[in-house]
């Protein structure tokens, strides 16, 4: 699938104000500074679509983008280490969970994970929560350009060994680099195949 148009629709912190449409939605979420905005810009071939920042916690709202006039890409706030007050962080967490629990248009969540790090409890807990709430998700491993090919395989193997403790089978996953545009086609084709099956 190719993206020919990507338009910003709305930002908000109230799930009830998300677009009232029947278009399928794909939500992107991960720890702060995982490279989410960069990945979204790479997928859409628009370096200014999602705001990127070296400072964690840049995305603080639910951001809807209309893709090819056919589906919504949803950029969600990062969880974890954002430099915001505890009160703000609780608010983010609340509307993130509200989004996942109430948004019937959601077809799949993409949980972004920095491949360089050991499996993080916050990521594993979030995936567990998605599973318990029967929300389909895939994992997108980011920043693979920072590792050598052999290191990538080792990191993936170690990650799936940890997942095997709680999951009978691993979720679909993608290995990406925004810098090299690696994995872009695979992610878009996956979304395209789901859209065709709806």
| 77-113 pLDDT, tens digit each | 877 644 555 665 565 577 788 899 999 999 999 999 9
Residue 42 lies in a domain: yes
Is 18 within a domain?
yes
Q: Residue 146 sits in a domain of what CATH number?
A: 3.40.50.300
**Chain segment 41-54, per-residue pLDDT in tens:** 999 999 888 875 44
pLDDT at 95: 79
Q: Which of 77, 70, 79, 81 is nearest to 7 (CA)?
A: 70
For residue 29, is pLDDT > 70?
Answer: yes
Q: Cα–Cα distances in Å, from 47 out to 44, 58, 71, 95, 178?
A: 8, 15, 20, 27, 11
Residue 1 lies in a domain: no
Number of domains present in the structure of the chain:
1
Q: What's the domain range around 14? A: 6-197
pLDDT in tens, 153-180: 999 999 999 999 999 998 999 999 999 9
């Amino acid at each position: 699938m190719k993206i020919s148009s990507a338009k910003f629709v709305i930002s908000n912190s109230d799930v009830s104000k998300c677009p009232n449409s029947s278009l399928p939605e794909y939500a992107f979420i991960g720890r702060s500074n995982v490279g989410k905005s960069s990945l979204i810009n790479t997928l859409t071939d628009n370096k200014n679509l999602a705001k990127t920042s070296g400072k964690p916690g840049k995305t603080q709202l639910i951001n809807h983008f209309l893709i090819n006039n056919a589906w919504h890409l949803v950029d969600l706030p990062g969880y974890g280490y954002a430099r915001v007050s505890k009160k703000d962080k609780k608010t983010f967490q609340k509307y993130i969970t509200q989004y996942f629990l109430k948004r019937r248009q959601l077809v799949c969540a993409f949980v972004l994970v920095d491949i360089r790090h050991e499996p993080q409890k916050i990521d594993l807990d979030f995936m567990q929560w998605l599973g318990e709430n029967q929300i389909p998700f895939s994992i997108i491993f980011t920043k693979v350009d920072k590792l050598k090919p052999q290191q990538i395989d080792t990191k993936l193997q170690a990650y799936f060994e940890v997942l095997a403790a709680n999951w009978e089978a691993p979720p679909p996953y993608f290995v990406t680099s925004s810098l090299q545009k690696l994995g872009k086609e695979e992610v878009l084709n996956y979304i395209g195949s789901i859209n065709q099956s709806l």
